[in-house]
């Protein structure tokens, strides 16, 4: 995160988004934080809903837009994918 002299955020890059944790799961937060500040990659946990919701194969963070965006290569962009799901 980068802020200007008036403390307005001028750049924001979110590395990952965790799921909402129940009180008994709160130990996952420090676990992920310690790995992140220690320079370890969390890529192996991407999309593992127990730890990290996004990024995954479908969503990535766009720091220029400051939001999670659908990956252009995602199957969620394909109409046929939804037709198949509706048939399930």
pLDDT the model gives residue 5: 95
How far apart are the C-alpha atoms of 69 and 79, rounded to whole Å?
18
Bond prior to 55 in cis (omega within 30° of 0): yes
pLDDT the model gives residue 6: 95
Domain boundaries, the chain: 2-87
pLDDT-derived band at 14 (thresholds 50, 70, 90) equals confident
How far apart are the C-alpha atoms of 77 and 73, rounded to whole Å?
7
The pLDDT tens digits for 35-72 are 888 999 888 888 888 888 889 889 999 988 888 899 88
What pTM value is reported for the model?
A: 0.62
């Amino acid at each position: 995160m980068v802020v200007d002299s008036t403390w307005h955020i001028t750049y924001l890059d979110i590395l990952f988004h965790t799921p909402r944790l129940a009180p008994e799961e709160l130990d996952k937060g420090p676990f992920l934080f310690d790995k992140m500040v220690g320079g370890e990659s969390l890529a192996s946990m991407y999309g593992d809903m127990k730890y990290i919701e996004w990024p995954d194969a479908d969503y990535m963070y766009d720091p220029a837009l400051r939001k999670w965006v659908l990956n252009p290569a995602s199957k969620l962009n394909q109409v046929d994918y939804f037709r198949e799901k509706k048939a399930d």
